[in-house]
Amino acid sequence: MSLLITNIKQLIQVHEYNTTIVMGSDMKNLPIIENAYLYIENDTIIEFGDMKDCEGFDAETTIDASGKLVLPSWCDSHTHIVYAGDRTSEFVDRINGLSYADIANKGGGILNSAKKLQDTSEDVLFEQSLKRLNELIAMGTGAVEIKTGYGLTVEAELKMLRVIKRLKQESLAVIIPTLLAAHAIPEAYKNNKQDYIHYITEELIPKAAELNITNYIDVFCEDGYFDINDTDAILKAGKTYNLQPKIHVNQFNILGGIALGVKHNALSVDHLEELNDDDIKALKGSGTMPVALPGCSYFLSIPYTQGRKIIDSGLPLAIATDYNPGSAPSGNMNFVVGAACVKLKLTPEEAINAATINGAYAMGISNMYGSITRGKKANLIITKPMNHYSEIPYAFAHNPIDQVIINGQLL
């Protein structure tokens, strides 16, 4: 199978050598080729360059991309798309004045989603999740991390993992599963948190690891959820099963979760709506990617992550949707790229780097995804006609996607 894309107005995020992360002032650079071609065989990018050098390709399919841009598919490194039903009524409660914490305290929030998920059959859960997955692929996402965490029991967490496995089998998109082992404390353990932590470390993690579906572990490190000591214990238990941390930290409060994540060699620390200088210091020189989730800030009306400050400190930054029923019910990476510019004060170049190569890094797949590089997988967006990639964040809430290619296949 071979595919040639010709007359590309701008071929974006072109790297001659296998770049796997961009950080600090390098994030301002977004290498492009104007008037370009791209040649794909099977699922792999084979060749690209100036249109005037496009000769000798005998492709089965040719796409004329005149007036359009081509870039790597979005890499959404933080989602919770396997959930049952929705939480529209809590959305209305918040409009009427309740906070996210108020709703959680009266048994809503994550506990509400857990109840719904426990009461939903595996097949129905799969169908609901597949629909969300296909929607986000149509919006340009080609690689997506999916967390568990709405189970809260071994049985329901394993159900979530099996659903994620089925999504992986069903979909061409790359799916990276994460065991969100500690997302909330169930009602039955309310006055007995240590017993629940014991249940997570001694039963949930070992049984989940047995399925061999995930390489990553997550904890919601936050007041009212899991504190630093809890998080430390859970990450240690994960480590014995080779699960690398990707954790929820600093969403509402700074507990020291960033330094803890770095200590445990976390691949990413996500949210960071609250952030201090010690957090930035902890991240310096580490291999841990800070991940901002502007859709969550928008939806909950909480501060936006200081993306500008993170990048100006010389650090890398990734951006993701956090697609979930409670704090960010949207999987639209185009919106996230726009919000990163408007609210996090990233330039379009930085936002696109954050949503492609650095998002791929935050899933441990940037050796094969996230840039236009010979040998990397052909997961691509072909945009609607436009003059410049800055129009993607500029025309906020528009859909810039014309076609998507995943694993070399035009969808």
350 binds ligand NIG (CB under 6 A): no
Which residue number, 118 or 367, has a Cβ lying nearer to ligand NIG? 118
Rounded to whole angstroms, the Cα distance separating 38 from 88 reads 43
151 binds ligand NIG (CB under 6 A): no
Helix axes 333-342, 348-355, angle to 10 degrees: 140
Bridge-based pairing of strands 141-147 and 409-410 is unpaired
325 binds ligand NIG (CB under 6 A): yes
Residue 150 annotated as binding site:
yes
- Candidates 32, 110, 217, 339; binder of ligand NIG (CB under 6 A) is 110
Residue 250 annotated as binding site:
no
Interacting span for ligand NIG (CB under 6 A) from 1-9, 108-116, 343-351, 382-390:
108-116
Interacting span for ligand NIG (CB under 6 A) from 105-113, 159-167, 276-284, 343-351:
105-113
Contact 380, 73 (CB under 8 A): yes
327 binds ligand NIG (CB under 6 A): yes
Question: What minimum distance in Å lies between the beta carbon of 363 and ligand NIG?
Answer: 16
Residue 371 annotated as binding site:
no
Residue 189 annotated as binding site:
no
Contact 292, 340 (CB under 8 A): yes
Rounded to whole angstroms, the Cα distance separating 243 from 232 reads 13
248 binds ligand NIG (CB under 6 A): yes
113 binds ligand NIG (CB under 6 A): yes
Where along the sequence are the contacts to Fe ion (CB under 5 A)? 322
Could you write out the DSSP letters of every residue in 384-400? SS-S-TTHHHHSTT---
Which residues 6+ apart lie within 8 Å of 220 measured at CB? 110, 149, 180, 182, 183, 184, 226, 248, 251
| Residue linked to tokens 């650090």 | 315
Which residue number, 322 or 349, has a Cβ lying nearer to Fe ion? 322
297 binds ligand NIG (CB under 6 A): no
Contact 366, 170 (CB under 8 A): no
The distance in angstroms from the start CA to the end CA of the chain is 14
Site string for ligand NIG, 193-232 (x = CB under 6 A): ---------------------------x------------
